[in-house]
């Protein structure tokens, strides 16, 4: 067909058919090439398709549809075969004035291609065209190949036939070189660049649209030889892998909007120490270009845009980088910028983000100054950071995302590096520091090392406004190239509004010892909840939870096991461990395994040993349960031509223990046979509950401490009375008294005391044959009034462990203990009292602070004299001794005609109170 091989045509038939002025050309042929490939085809062609369809359309619809209608349509069925194999393919294609589209469907592969129909001459380009007269693109094609995956590998004959089949559907001038097809699975791009009479073939086989990678510039032979003298071959391969690609396309986004074709491309370009990154390089082509198409019209109407760019220059001694990104979304505009500078050990970093929403604006600024401060070898400071956010919130990243948190990443690695995606950096920045009205953030950071071994970057973020939280996060690394690499992420968050404290730490996926294949894993989490539904709950874990434990939604999840894993293909082994503590139980476990694999062409063999042990211990009453599992297995598969032998052997042992009154079950399985052995007393039910006396002794304090009280706010001062007692002077507007009971309260009673509804659900203490709890809290008041009409009250609701208080007297089974419903929520544990904010109906009484106050004004502009005179009139000491509560906002400073300053007091709402 094309250049790759000479085809000897045996039979060729052509048939032209015309139906209602529509031409249809059918061609059939049988051809055989020199390499033994036979091609039999039956193809059809419809010329002048756009012209024929335009006759059937009205003018207003024609302008919209015709640009998308091809000039020609073709289709065909192909049967391609050699002496042993054959392949059938269906092909459909379309030809436009400037492009050709083609799709091929076969059992073993699918192929789609887009090619230019005519060459592109650069001399017609505006401005620079006169300098590029000798350059042109004679052919260009983009091909996507989808290879069908097979359970069994394809034979060499079949692969040869498939590759030769593809030659019939692509431009062989581009893709065939010395009889070899350079197409690969995935996307392929190729073109022929002409310079005068010379042609250069350029192809990019098998790339991914999310990352076209072109090898970097070659290293001179002398330099490479010098490296080989100093390094092992493995290290050389690693250096080559880490070297940035010359060209990398990060993203391609096509779209059609407002009768325009939009293509946005993001790409990296790296040449030596220089790096350039373009983000959202937009090419916009209106539909009108395809009407009477020409290159001059294309260059005149095409529009370009750019969302952002980054420029990097990096050498060991000097590094300079800058980036800018602008984005718009649903009426919100974002402007992001970054600048880094490094000279020797001096580093300067600045990040800024401005977001304008329809209702408000948001600003974030962050700066880092890297100056070495050698305080101590254990604490060698490299630099400090400060930042702030106006109308910005703060969202703590997941522990796995901390290494990529922009403020951590850029400071830790020493600036913007080649290959860093600035679009992702700014997106993450505005995701963790989102625009949020009336919220503010203050950020401080530090970078230091310990003994030149452990390098740490930490960031402290204080968020306040609508919500207040304290956030600490960071990354520590310790590495020796080729020996070990430890990377540890940590975070701590204290949310004052939600009453949550959560601390986490975790080894990242980059942690290994001796070999990159010998991975170390592990993490910890500590959480406490003081408010809301989970109030009273806590958790501490190293390495996660019991496999059957249903993790509550507010617990940190996916905590990795403490352990190691080694994978060299034929040899694999691992070890894991965990520990967790919750209000109801404690859990721990270990696991390990070893697997040896032999994978040959004919024989596959696998031998393995698996081990696991999981333990659960419940608090009160004491109860434990453990399960130990061991398995030894072997598997062999022999595959010879038409015959396959598959044999496997397995030996399994499982031991289940529980108690007290120790008992257990041992189970053995060998080749489908099972043996179960019980030991201990299985006829007697294990007592999982306490007696009443044990319950009181374990969970209840001394009777004198069952009720406690505390003035939580509003204290002004404390006064010692003559009789040795103490009086507390409080501010009635902020006064709050909490009475707390160690036993859940089911009813509250007091004279004229109005409380919110208490949860009346059944509550039982968890001990043998317990009855429903009834606990009434009686409160009374003495003083200016003997009732609570001047107070407001609210029950104190807490969550309590179900292992102590439950809504049933039935003992929880194991599944319930392992569930996420470990707490009994909204249980009343006391009462909160405050002074009523309603004004008293009693008329106020005026009492002068001074008996007489005379103000003489000698000069209304310069002087002011106040004089106090004694008077025989005395204040009522009895009243003053009672009215000890003084509120500044209630003082009425009034300059009356008699020159008296007057204070107003409330008779009934204030006074000395004694709560019983």
pLDDT in tens, 503-559: 999 998 888 888 888 899 999 999 998 877 777 788 999 999 988 888 888 888 889
Q: Are 399 and 385 in contact (CB under 8 A)?
A: no
Tell me how far apart the alpha carbons of residues 595 and 606 are, in angstroms, rounded to a whole number.
7
Residue 570: is it exposed, middle or buried by C-beta count within 10 angstroms (0-12/13-18/19+)? exposed
Q: Are both 705 and 787 inside the same structural domain?
A: yes
In DSSP notation, 458-520 reads EEEEEEEESS-EEEEEEEEEEEETTTEEEEEEEEEEEETTTTEEEEEEEE-TT-EESEEEEEE
Shared-domain flag, residues 249 and 125: no
Q: How many structural domains comprise the chain?
A: 5
Q: Is the pLDDT of residue 896 over 90?
A: no
| Residues contacting residue 545 through CB under 8 Å, at least 6 positions apart | 551, 559, 578, 580, 587
The pLDDT of residue 621: 66
In a domain? residue 727: yes
Q: Verify that 63 and 18 share a domain, yes or no.
A: yes
Residue 461 has pLDDT above 90, yes or no: yes
Q: What share of the chain in percent tops pLDDT 70?
A: 76
Same domain, 121 and 58: yes
Q: In this structure, is residue 647 part of a structural domain?
A: no
What is the mean predicted confidence (pLDDT) over 771-780? 82
Q: Cis before residue 399, ω within 30 degrees of 0?
A: no
**Section 737-745 average pLDDT:** 85
pLDDT tens figures, 319-341: 888 888 888 888 888 889 999 88
Residue 516 within a domain: no
Domain end call among 792, 817, 835: 835
- Both 831 and 858 in one domain: the answer is no
Residue 515 lies in a domain: no
- Is residue 822 one of the residues assigned to a domain? yes
167 and 18 both lie in a single domain:
yes
Question: How do 318-329 and 308-314 pair as beta strands?
Answer: antiparallel
Q: Are residues 165 and 64 in the same domain?
A: yes
**How far, in Å, CA of 495 to CA of 502, rounded?**
9
Run of H or E residues at 634:
strand 623-640
In this structure, the number of other CB atoms found within 10 A of the CB of residue 9 comes to 11
> Are 293 and 380 within one domain?
no
Quick: pLDDT tens for 472-495: 999 999 988 878 889 999 999 999
- Quick one: pLDDT at residue 540? 93
Output the CA angle 767-769-773, nearest 5 degrees: 70
Higher pLDDT, 232 or 670: 670
What is the torsional sign of CA 554, 558, 559, 561? positive
Task: Give the integer Cα–Cα distance in Å for 824 and 798.
Answer: 9
H or E stretch covering 647: strand 643-659
Average pLDDT over residues 558-572: 88
Confidence at residue 433, expressed as pLDDT on a 0 to 100 scale: 92
Number of residues in the chain: 916
What pLDDT is attached to residue 310?
85
Q: pLDDT digits over 81-116, tens only?
A: 877 778 888 888 888 777 788 888 888 888 888 887
Question: At residue 901, does pLDDT exceed 80?
Answer: no
Pseudo-torsion of CA 598, 604, 605, 611, nearest 10°? 90
Position 253 in a domain: yes
How far, rounded to the nearest angstrom, does the alpha carbon of residue 524 sit from its chain's CA centroid? 18
Residues 50 and 178 in one domain: yes
Distance CA 408, CA 475 (A): 7
Contact by Cβ (8 Å): 342, 333: no
The answer to whether 26 and 17 are in contact (CB under 8 A) is yes
- For 179-227, write each residue's pLDDT tens digit: 777 777 777 788 888 877 788 777 777 554 444 444 333 333 333 333 3
Of residues 88 and 620, more confidence is placed in 88
Give the residue-averaged pLDDT of 163-175: 81
> Where would I find the H helices in 541-595?
none
* 187/149 Cα distance (integer angstroms): 17
| Confidence band of 501 (pLDDT split at 50, 70, 90) | very high
Residue among 580, 561, 557, 560 at smallest CA distance from 398: 557
Q: Which pLDDT belongs to residue 397?
A: 92
CA–CA separation, 315 and 457 (whole Å): 23
What are 841-884's pLDDT values in tens digits?
A: 444 444 444 433 433 333 334 433 434 344 343 333 333 333 33
Domain boundary (276, 304, 332) is at 304
Q: Long-range contacts of range 57-60, CB-CB < 8 Å, 24 or more positions apart?
A: none
In this model, does residue 698 exceed pLDDT 60? yes
Question: Which of 643 and 590 is assigned the larger pLDDT?
Answer: 590
Confidence of residue 280 (pLDDT cuts 50, 70, 90): confident
**Predicted confidence (pLDDT) at residue 459 exceeds the cutoff of 90:** yes
Reported as a single tens digit per residue, the pLDDT across 414-451 is 887 777 888 888 889 999 999 988 899 999 999 999 88
Give yes or no: residues 154 and 15 share one domain. yes
**Band of residue 689 on the pLDDT scale cut at 50, 70, 90:** low
What is the chain's percent helix, strand, coil content, to nearest 5? 15, 55, 35
Considering the domain architecture, whether residues 177 and 292 belong to the same structural domain is answered as no
Most confident of 255-269, 303-317, 416-430, 583-597: 583-597
What are the CB-based long-range contacts (under 8 Å, 24+) for 285-291?
285/260, 285/261, 286/259, 286/260, 286/261, 287/64, 287/67, 287/259, 287/260, 287/261, 290/67, 290/96, 290/97, 291/63, 291/66, 291/67
Q: Residue 593 — pLDDT band, cuts 50, 70, 90? A: very high
Question: What is the pLDDT at residue 10?
Answer: 66
pLDDT in tens, 709-721: 888 888 888 888 7
449 and 412 in a common domain: yes
Work out the average pLDDT over 223-250.
44
**91 C-beta neighbours (distance < 10 Å), count:** 19
Residue 704 inside a domain? The answer is: yes
- Last residue of some domain: 244, 272, 304? 304
**Cis preceding linkage at 314, omega within 30:** no
Q: Using CA atoms, how far apart are residues 806 and 824, in angstroms rounded to an integer?
A: 6
Give the residue numbers spanning the domain of 107: 7-132+143-184
Mean pLDDT over 690-695 rounds to 73
| Domain assignment present for 690 | no
What pLDDT score does 687 carry? 57
Q: Which of 632, 573, 574, 640 is nearest to 604 (CA)?
A: 640
Distance CA 717, CA 757 (A): 34
Mean pLDDT of 40-69: 73
Asked if 712 and 736 touch (Cβ cutoff 8 Å), the reply is yes
Mean pLDDT on 825-847? 67
Neighbour count for residue 169 (Cβ, 10 Å)? 21
Q: How far is residue 528's CA from residue 555's CA, in Å, rounded to a whole number?
A: 9
Query: Which of 240-254, 861-875, 884-898 has maximum average pLDDT?
Result: 240-254
The residue among 243 and 11 whose pLDDT is bigger is: 11
């Amino acid at each position: 067909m094309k250049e790759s091989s000479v085809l000897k045509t045996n039979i060729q038939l052509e048939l032209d058919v015309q139906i209602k002025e529509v031409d249809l050309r059918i061609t059939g042929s049988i051809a055989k090439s020199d390499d033994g490939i036979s091609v039999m085809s039956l193809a059809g062609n419809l010329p002048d398709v756009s012209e024929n369809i335009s006759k059937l359309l009205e003018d207003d619809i024609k302008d919209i549809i015709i640009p998308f209608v091809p000039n020609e349509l073709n289709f065909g069925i192909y049967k391609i075969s050699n002496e042993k194999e054959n392949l059938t393919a269906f092909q459909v294609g379309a030809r436009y004035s400037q492009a050709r589209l083609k799709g091929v469907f076969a059992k073993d592969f699918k192929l789609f291609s887009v090619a230019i129909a005519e060459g592109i001459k650069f001399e017609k380009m505006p401005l620079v065209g006169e300098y590029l007269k000798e350059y042109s693109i004679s052919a260009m094609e983009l091909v996507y190949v989808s290879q069908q995956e097979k359970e069994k590998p394809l034979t060499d004959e079949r692969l040869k036939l498939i590759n030769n089949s593809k030659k019939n559907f692509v431009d062989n001038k581009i893709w065939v070189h010395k009889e070899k097809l350079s197409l690969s699975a995935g996307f392929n791009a190729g073109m022929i660049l002409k310079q005068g009479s010379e042609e250069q073939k350029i192809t990019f086989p098998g790339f991914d649209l999310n990352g076209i990678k072109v090898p970097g510039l070659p290293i001179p032979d002398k330099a490479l030889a010098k490296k080989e003298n100093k390094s092992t071959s493995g290290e050389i391969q690693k250096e080559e892998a880490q070297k940035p690609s010359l060209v990398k396309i990060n993203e391609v986004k096509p779209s059609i909007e407002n009768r325009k074709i939009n293509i946005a491309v993001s790409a990296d370009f790296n040449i030596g120490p220089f790096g350039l990154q373009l983000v959202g390089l937009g090419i916009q082509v209106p539909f009108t270009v395809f009407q009477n198409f020409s290159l001059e019209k294309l260059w005149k109407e095409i529009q370009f845009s750019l969302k952002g760019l980054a420029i990097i220059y990096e050498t060991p001694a000097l590094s300079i980088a800058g980036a800018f990104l602008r984005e718009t979304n649903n009426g919100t505009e974002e402007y992001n910028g970054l600048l880094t500078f490094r000279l020797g050990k001096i580093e300067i970093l600045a990040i800024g983000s401005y977001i304008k929403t329809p209702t408000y604006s948001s600003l974030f600024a962050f700066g880092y100054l890297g100056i070495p401060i050698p305080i101590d070898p254990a604490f060698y400071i490299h630099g400090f950071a400060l930042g702030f956010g106006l109308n910005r919130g703060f969202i703590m990243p997941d522990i796995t995302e901390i290494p990529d948190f922009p403020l951590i990443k850029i400071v830790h690695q020493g600036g913007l590096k080649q290959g860093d995606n600035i679009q992702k950096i700014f997106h993450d920045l505005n995701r963790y520091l989102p625009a949020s009205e009336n919220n503010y953030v203050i950020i401080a950071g530090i970078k230091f090392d310990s003994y030149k071994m452990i390098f740490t970057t930490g960031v402290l973020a204080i968020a306040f406004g609508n919500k207040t939280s304290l956030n600490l996060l960071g990354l520590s690394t310790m590495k020796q190239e080729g020996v070990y690499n430890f990377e540890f992420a940590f975070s701590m968050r204290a949310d004052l509004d939600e009453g949550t404290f959560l601390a986490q730490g975790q080894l990242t996926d980059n942690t290994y010892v001796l070999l990159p294949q010998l991975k170390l894993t592990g993490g910890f989490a500590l959480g406490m909840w003081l408010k809301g539904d989970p109030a009273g709950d806590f958790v501490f874990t190293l390495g996660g939870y019991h496999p059957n434990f249903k993790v509550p939604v507010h617990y940190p999840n996916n905590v990795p096991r403490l352990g190691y894993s080694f994978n060299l293909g034929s040899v694999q082994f691992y070890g894991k461990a965990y520990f967790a503590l919750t209000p109801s139980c404690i859990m721990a476990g270990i696991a390990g395994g070893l697997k040896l694999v032999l994978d040959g062409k004919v024989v596959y063999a696998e031998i393995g040993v698996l081990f696991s042990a999981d333990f659960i211990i419940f608090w009160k009453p004491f109860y434990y349960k453990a399960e130990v599992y061991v398995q030894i297995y072997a598997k062999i598969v022999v595959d010879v031509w038409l015959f396959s032998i598959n044999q496997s052997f397995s030996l399994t042992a499982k031991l289940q223990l529980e108690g007290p009154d120790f008992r257990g079950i041992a189970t053995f399985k060998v080749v489908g046979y099972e043996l179960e052995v019980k030991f201990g007393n299985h006829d007697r039910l294990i007592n999982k509950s306490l007696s009443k006396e044990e319950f009181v002794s374990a969970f209840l304090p001394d009777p004198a401490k069952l009720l406690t009280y505390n003035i939580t706010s509003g204290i002004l001062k404390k006064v010692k009375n003559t009789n040795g007692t103490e009086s507390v002077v409080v501010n009635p507007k902020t006064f709050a008294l909490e009475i707390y009971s160690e036993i859940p309260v089911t009813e509250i009673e007091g004279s004229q005391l109005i409380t919110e509804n208490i949860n009346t659900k059944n509550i039982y203490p968890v001990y043998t044959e317990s009855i429903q709890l009834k606990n009434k809290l009686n409160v009374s008041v003495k003083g200016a009034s003997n009732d609570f009409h001047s107070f407001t009250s609210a029950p104190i609701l807490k969550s309590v462990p179900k292992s102590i208080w439950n809504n049933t007297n039935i003992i929880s089974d194991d599944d319930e203990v392992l569930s996420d419903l470990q707490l009994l929520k909204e249980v009343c544990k006391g009462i909160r009292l405050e002074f009523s904010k309603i004004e008293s109906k009693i008329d106020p009484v005026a009492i002068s602070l001074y008996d007489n106050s005379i103000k003489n004004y000698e000069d209304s502009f310069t002087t002011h004299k106040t004089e106090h005179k004694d008077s025989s009139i005395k204040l009522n000491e009895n009243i003053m001794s009672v009215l000890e509560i003084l509120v500044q906002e209630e003082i009425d400073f009034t300059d009356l005609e008699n020159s008296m300053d007057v204070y107003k007091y409330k008779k009934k709402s204030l006074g000395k109170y004694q709560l019983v």
